[in-house]
Amino acid sequence: MNTWHDLKRLAHSPINLQHYFTADSNRGQKFSATACDIYMDFSKQAIDDESLLKLIQLADACELSQKIKALLAGEKVNDTEQRAALHTALRLPKGESLIVDGVDVGEQVHDSLDKCEALVHRIRSGIWRGYSGKAIRDVVNIGVGGSDLGPLMATTALSEWADTDIHVHFVSNMDGTQLESLLKKLNPQTTLFIISSKSFGTVDTLSNAKTALSWLLAAYAHKPTILRRHFIGISTRPDKMSDWGIHPDNQLLLWDWVGGRFSMWSAIGLAIAVRIGMANFRALLAGAHEMDKHFAQADFYKNLPVLLGLIGVWNATFLGINAHTVLPYDGRLSHFPNYLTQLEMESNGKSVKRTGESVNYRTCPILWGDIGSNAQHAFYQLLHQGTQRVSCDFITPIHRYNDTQIVNNSLVYQHKLSLANCLAQSQVLAFGNAALPHGVANVADDLAKFKKYRGNQPSTTLLLGDLNPKTLGALIALYEHKVYVMSVLWQINPFDQWGVEVGKVMANRVYDELISKTNTDCFDHSTNTLLSVIKQSRIINE
């Protein structure tokens, strides 16, 4: 592919961000785009007119436009599992149909949302009662991966939109630590559990659910009442939910075309809706749908997900930047980097093309992040003066603490300080010492060489007008589509996760050996030795 070779040639040319800005006084405006109340500045990325043109030509050569249409139309883009990936259908407006294999998916989605709304109303209004007749005061979402990270992230980000005294908690860790400490604080009479598991067979989730059931039964031993009044199940498997004991009225169904990491828009988002209300949850869906339309319709030069995806491929594959960090300058987005870690690395952490051939280029970088103000006092040292090249996404809302909220001068000051830090850090990362005031940049002392900031670390800045349900929905959808764009250029399937499945299979085998009374030496010598040490431990045996 000639375009691929052209990009490799351009990547080997000297790239200097300071020179880019010196050569083009309009660069900050030219390399930017806006949609869905999100302004994206990618002028501090290591691209110029030629490399951007070649990236778009590569997208065309990979038939990105057709692949976007296939995704949104419900074609089987998950080819290894012969499934569609219809997370975009989960946010279709009511009355908008999408026929897939003769079924109106839009109608199914809104039937599910309507059932969610009915449950949310019963919980939030106090109609839903526990075994003692008291209204529900705490809801615990038991899930793992996409059944936990998405709802946790969104509920935290939208905490200011919570209009109920009902508290929502999240439990995912299979070792019981989270659940044990949480149960000490909860009242079994007023606690409702949501068991979220696509397969209803995930050991992490079901082990926590079993512990929750035991806790409730210790308080009130009539199991049918406990199951009916204290558990909701969300899964593709109604048979397994029924076998576990969840009443059909308390079951919410998923579809096999909903990938776990794309599922927060579905009934998996029930915990979000309980906390912020169904109207705000629908606004979250509306924001995502608005980004879907932008993704489908906008020219590639101004298409936020396409640009973000092309830049991601340019950095990881051609420039060899193997690490990417997400830095929100807003405490409400504290869980957003972790959410994106799963979204990107589980989707695009692949080394085999759709054709079955091994890739011979780098795909997904290692992704991590933290709230920007925390990260400044932690790993920014590596970003500014380490030996690794790292690409960065800065995310911040422009407005906060407006007239509809509690306003005082200290909070306004803090927000402006956060904005200033966000903009300042991206400058120093891009331009190094050249970004600093003259007296600081030209240090003439024995420590000068230790105070050198090399710059040339590429970054994108995303400004949200405000962080609200609609803009959060658009932001999440932006990154979902970024992942898809990158997968198209890398020719990999972002919707399967065989690397996750193999760990589950092996864990079951090791567990069987762990509880066995004998040693069968059926694994490698290291694992066999570790199992022997564990079995011989007096503490474990007790």
Which of the residues are catalytic? 346, 377, 504
Q: What is the DSSP string of 479-535?
A: HHHHHHHHHHHHT--TT--HHHHHHHHHHHHHHHHHT-SS----S-HHHHHHHHHHH
Instruction: Tell me the HSE value of 376 on the side-chain side, using a 13 A CA sphere.
Output: 15
The SS3 of residue 39 is strand
Alpha helix (H) ranges present in 270-325? 270-276, 278-297, 304-313
CA distances from 211 to 127, 171, 183, 355, 370 (A): 26, 12, 10, 44, 32
**Number of helical H runs and strand E runs in the chain:** 23, 13
100, amino acid identity: V
Residues 243, 249, 252: CA angle, nearest 5 degrees: 80
Cα distance between residue 94 and residue 107, in whole Å: 8
Instruction: Tell me the HSE value of 6 on the side-chain side, using a 13 A CA sphere.
Output: 12
CA 168 to chain centre: 19
Whether 321 and 460 have beta carbons less than 8 Å apart is answered as no
The torsion angles phi and psi of 253, rounded to 5 degrees, stand at -100, 145
Q: Kindly list the strands in the beta sheet with 167-171, ordered across the sheet, starting from the edge strand earlier in the chain.
A: 167-171, 138-142, 191-196, 231-235, 251-253
End-to-end, the C-alpha distance of the chain in Å comes to 63
Length of the chain counted residue by residue: 542
Whether 105 and 72 have beta carbons less than 8 Å apart is answered as no
133-169 b/e with 16+ CB inside 10 Å = b?
Answer: eebbbbbbbbbbbbbbbbbbbbbbbbeebbebebebb
Whether 74 and 104 have beta carbons less than 8 Å apart is answered as no
The SS3 of residue 109 is helix
